[in-house]
Chains A and B, each alone.
Chain A
Amino acid sequence: MIGRKRLVAKARPAAHRACGSCLLFRNDAAYLEAAFAGLTSLSSAFGSTQSDDGICLLHDRVLSARALCPDFSPADAG
Chain B
Amino acid sequence: MANIEAQADRAIAPAPRWRELWLKEDWWAIWLGLGIVAAAYVLFAGGGSIRWIAVTPAKWTTLSQLGSHFAANYDRYLAQFLVWLVVFSVALTALGHKARAFIPSFAILYALSVAIFALGQWDKASTYNLEPPLVALVIGLALSNVLGLPRALDAGFRVEFYIKTGIVLLGATLPFTLILWAGPAAILQASIVSVVTFGVIYWVAVRLGLDKRLAATLGAGGAVCGVSAAIAIAGAVGAKKQDAPIAITTVIIWAVAMIFVLPFAAEYLHLPAGVGGAWIGTSEFADAAGFAAAQTYGNLAGHAAVAGTSEQAIFAYTLIKVVGRDVWIGIWAFVLAIVATTQWDRIETGRKPQAAEIWWRFPKFVIGFLLASLLVTVVTAGYSLADFNKTVVPSLVGPVKDLRTWAFIFCFLSIGLTTRFRELASAGRRPFLAFSAGAIVNVIVGFILSAIVFASHWENLTP
Q: Which of A33-61 contact B (CB under 8 A)?
A: 35-56, 58-61
Residues of A within 8 A of B354 (CB): 66
Q: Which of B1-47 contact A (CB under 8 A)?
A: 1-2, 4-5, 7, 10-15, 20, 24-27
Contact B231 A36, beta carbon cutoff 8 Å: yes
Closest to A28 in B: B96
Counted as pairs of residues, one from A and one from B, with CB atoms less than 8 Å apart, the total is: 187
Contact B4 A71, beta carbon cutoff 8 Å: yes
Q: Which of B24, B96, B351 contacts A48 (CB under 8 A)? A: B24
Contact B228 A41, beta carbon cutoff 8 Å: no
Residues of A within 8 A of B363 (CB): 47-49
Smallest CB–CB gap between A67 and chain B, Å?
4
Instruction: Indicate whether A18 sits within 8 Å of B12 (C-beta atoms), given known contacts A42-B415, A62-B231, A69-B4.
Output: yes
1/0 per residue, CB under 8 A from A, across B280-299: the answer is 00000110110000000000
Compute how far the CA of A38 lies from the CA of B95 in the bound complex, rounded to whole angstroms: 20
Using C-beta atoms within 8 Å of the partner chain, give the interface range for chain A: 35 or more
Whether, in the assembled complex, A23 has its beta carbon less than 8 Å from a beta carbon of chain B, the answer is: no
1/0 per residue, CB under 8 A from A, across B192-231: the answer is 0000000000000000000000000000000001111101
Compute how far the CA of A45 lies from the CA of B348 in the bound complex, rounded to whole angstroms: 24
Q: Which of A20, A37, A43, A59 contacts B245 (CB under 8 A)? A: A37
Smallest CB–CB gap between B149 and chain A, Å?
13
Contact B232 A41, beta carbon cutoff 8 Å: no
Contact A49 B226, beta carbon cutoff 8 Å: no
Instruction: Indicate whether A61 sits within 8 Å of B351 (C-beta atoms), given known contacts A46-B161, A50-B228.
Output: no
Compute how far the CA of A71 lies from the CA of B1 in the bound complex, rounded to whole angstroms: 12
Contact A66 B14, beta carbon cutoff 8 Å: yes
Whether, in the assembled complex, B325 has its beta carbon less than 8 Å from a beta carbon of chain A, the answer is: no
Whether, in the assembled complex, B430 has its beta carbon less than 8 Å from a beta carbon of chain A, the answer is: no
Residues of A within 8 A of B242 (CB): 60
1/0 per residue, CB under 8 A from A, across B351-378: the answer is 1001001001111110000000000000
Residues of B within 8 A of A50 (CB): 228, 231-232, 235, 361
Smallest CB–CB gap between B248 and chain A, Å?
4
Closest to A45 in B: B231
Smallest CB–CB gap between B204 and chain A, Å?
22
Contact A29 B12, beta carbon cutoff 8 Å: no
Contact A51 B158, beta carbon cutoff 8 Å: no
Residues of B within 8 A of A51 (CB): 232, 235, 357, 360-361
Q: Which of A14, A47, A67 contacts B25 (CB under 8 A)? A: A47
Contact A52 B15, beta carbon cutoff 8 Å: yes
Residues of B within 8 A of A53 (CB): 231-232, 234-236
Q: Which of B12, B158, B227 contacts A39 (CB under 8 A)? A: B227
Compute how far the CA of A70 lies from the CA of B220 in the bound complex, rounded to whole angstroms: 30
Contact B351 A49, beta carbon cutoff 8 Å: no
Residues of B within 8 A of A37 (CB): 245, 248-249, 423-425
Closest to A60 in B: B241
Residues of A within 8 A of B361 (CB): 48-51
Residues of B within 8 A of A52 (CB): 14-15, 360
Whether, in the assembled complex, B252 has its beta carbon less than 8 Å from a beta carbon of chain A, the answer is: yes
Closest to A35 in B: B241
Contact B2 A71, beta carbon cutoff 8 Å: yes
Contact B240 A61, beta carbon cutoff 8 Å: yes
Compute how far the CA of A60 lies from the CA of B350 in the bound complex, rounded to whole angstroms: 15
Instruction: Indicate whether A43 sits within 8 Å of B228 (C-beta atoms), given known contacts A50-B235, A64-B235.
Output: yes
Q: Which of B154, B228, B348, B349 contacts A49 (CB under 8 A)? A: B228
Contact A68 B234, beta carbon cutoff 8 Å: no
1/0 per residue, CB under 8 A from A, across B397-438: the answer is 000000000000000000100111001110000000000000
1/0 per residue, CB under 8 A from B, across A1-34: the answer is 0000000000000110010100000000110000
Smallest CB–CB gap between B324 and chain A, Å?
16
Compute how far the CA of A68 lies from the CA of B69 in the bound complex, rounded to whole angstroms: 61
- Interchain residue pairs A-B with the least CB separation, the first 3: A53-B235, A68-B350, A44-B160
Interchain residue pairs with CB less than 8 A apart (28):
A20-B15, A29-B95, A30-B96, A36-B245, A38-B252, A42-B159, A42-B227, A42-B228, A43-B159, A44-B161, A47-B363, A49-B232, A49-B330, A49-B363, A51-B361, A53-B231, A58-B2, A60-B240, A62-B231, A62-B238, A64-B236, A66-B12, A66-B351, A67-B4, A68-B4, A68-B5, A69-B350, A71-B2
B contact residues vs A (CB 8 Å cutoff): 1-2, 4-5, 7, 10-15, 20, 24-27, 95-96, 154, 157-161, 164, 225-229, 231-232, 234-236, 238-245, 248-249, 251-252, 255, 285-286, 288-289, 329-330, 348-351, 354, 357, 360-365, 415, 418-420, 423-425
Known: A47-B26, A47-B363. 5 other contacts (CB 8 A): A48-B26, A48-B361, A51-B360, A59-B2, A61-B348
